[in-house]
Amino acid sequence: MDTESIGEYSVRCIREWGDFVRLKPEWNELAALHPWGAYLSHDWFLQWWKSFGQDQFLICQIYNRHQTLGIIPLRRGWRRGARRLALMANEHTPRMDCLCRPEAARSVLGCMYRHLTRHHAWDVFDLAQLPRRSAHLFCIMAGEAGLHSYRLSSRQQRGVDLDRPWADVEAGFHLSLRHNLRRRLRLLRSLGRLSLVVQTGCSGLYAMLRECFAVEASGWKGRAHTAIGQNPAVERFYRRMAFRLAASGQLRLYGLRLGEKLIAFEFCLWNGNRLGCLKIGYEESLHRFSPGSVLRAWMLQLAHRQGCAGYDFLGDDTVWKAEWGQSVDELMCVRLYNRTLAGRALQMRGERRQGAAFAAAQAAAGEAGQNGRGAAEGAAGGMLIAFGSRQVEHPEPLNTAEAEDLVSTEVNHR
């Protein structure tokens, strides 16, 4: 563990397991300030590291004389010959962000960048699953530190707003979805007794999870070898998180039973007053009856009656999710390059790739007789943010003043 004083602030980098565990009170205090607090809890990251941690963790804690102002959970290792820093996240992390007090966000990131560039050897820094405004703030502060920032990709996560009368919620469903739900509910009821079960506590949870994992493995995920139960590390993570969430009152494991048999489930997390769906599964032999959709409709009705403000699908947006709601959050992936020889070489390689992709997209758009600029941007798969000391020419560079305005709006909103 190393500590550095930067003006009125101090930065401590935690690398030992015991220090990680002892950070829980300050960590959860900051997580409680964030709208996505349940996904950023100390328990989440602790279990994540136990299951998926292969590199070395590096947790930056920024504090002053009075309190902890921010915590950024990182990991570091090697990737394709480059020294890589990254947020502590992977495909099983639905949402990610910096833990900090909103009024100190700029100071926290500024101190982190200053410490990392002075005392730690790295070439690239990957930031994934960040909300758009937080990604802009990361890039603004990186630019002030002389680093280059590039947007690698963005993704949308869809949700359903439930803080309105149920008739209005249902009216937001696609017309074909409403008709299919009624018809398939009748068909399922013709097969036997249907019941909705909700698991929130630890009693009986192990057996319920075993049923859920078996249902998921019975379908296409089992054939593709991507089911939870087929990967020991993934199964360990979700099983442990289920018990931790149950102990804290945040678990919502919904199941649809036909008679005594489980035919669909949704593994959800209660985040403040919203539901977040971590995993779903259904009995594939009953696919034509849409048991997953029937379960979701009942589940949303129950959550609405219990005062839930919304439901988040998490994961990538798809066509079938759009049938349920129009609420969308944008998440961004950003890469920072350090001022090292390898970092500059990787930056130049990235610039060449983006330039080639843009040129190819322009040529394709020109052949199709379309607007070359707009189509090329969509096909190029990313837009240069470039808050660093050297601006690379690229269509539609992000305006720094606009980004700062977005950041200030986010801070005030929080």
| Per-residue pLDDT tens over the stretch 323-362 | 998 888 899 999 999 989 888 888 888 777 766 765 676 6
Task: Tell me the two tokens of residue 337.
Answer: 């390059």
3-state helix, strand, coil in the chain (%, to 5): 45, 25, 25
CA distance 331 to 154: 6
Q: Determine the average pLDDT of the residues in 81-106.
A: 92
Q: What is the pLDDT of residues 319-332, one digit of tens each?
A: 899 999 888 889 99
Task: Tell me the two tokens of residue 357.
Answer: 């992709």
pLDDT for 410 beyond 50: no
pLDDT for 372 beyond 50: no
CA distance 404 to 191: 58
What angle is formed at CA 409 by the lines to CA 85 and CA 114, rounded to 5 degrees?
30
Q: What is the pLDDT of residues 299-326, one digit of tens each?
A: 999 999 999 999 999 988 888 999 998 8
Confidence tier at 394 by pLDDT (50, 70, 90): very low
Contact in structure between 255 and 265 (CB atoms under 8 Å)? yes
Q: What is the pLDDT of residues 159-205, one digit of tens each?
A: 999 999 999 999 999 999 999 999 999 999 999 999 999 999 999 99
**Nearest CA among 190, 199, 324, 220 for reference residue 262:** 199
**Positions of CATH 3.40.630.30 in the chain:** 2-156+330-413, 163-308
**How confident is the model at residue 152, as a pLDDT?**
78
Fold type of domain 2-156+330-413: Aminopeptidase (3.40.630)
CA distance 136 to 383: 13
**How confident is the model at residue 399, as a pLDDT?**
38
**How confident is the model at residue 270, as a pLDDT?**
94
Its pTM stands at 0.82
Confidence tier at 398 by pLDDT (50, 70, 90): very low
The percentage of residues in the chain with a pLDDT greater than 70, rounded to a whole number, is 86
**Nearest CA among 295, 324, 289 for reference residue 310:** 324
pLDDT for 4 beyond 90: no
Task: Tell me the two tokens of residue 181.
Answer: 């739900």
Residues sharing a CB contact under 8 Å with residue 75, sequence separation 6 or more, in sequence order:
53, 55, 56, 57, 58, 85, 86, 87, 88
Which of the four CATH numbers 3.40.50.2000, 3.30.465.10, 1.10.3720.10, 3.40.630.30 does domain 163-308 have? 3.40.630.30
Confidence tier at 1 by pLDDT (50, 70, 90): low
Number of residues written out for the chain: 414
272: left (phi over 0), alpha (psi -120 to 50) or beta: left
Q: In angstroms, how far apart are the furthest CA atoms of the chain? A: 71
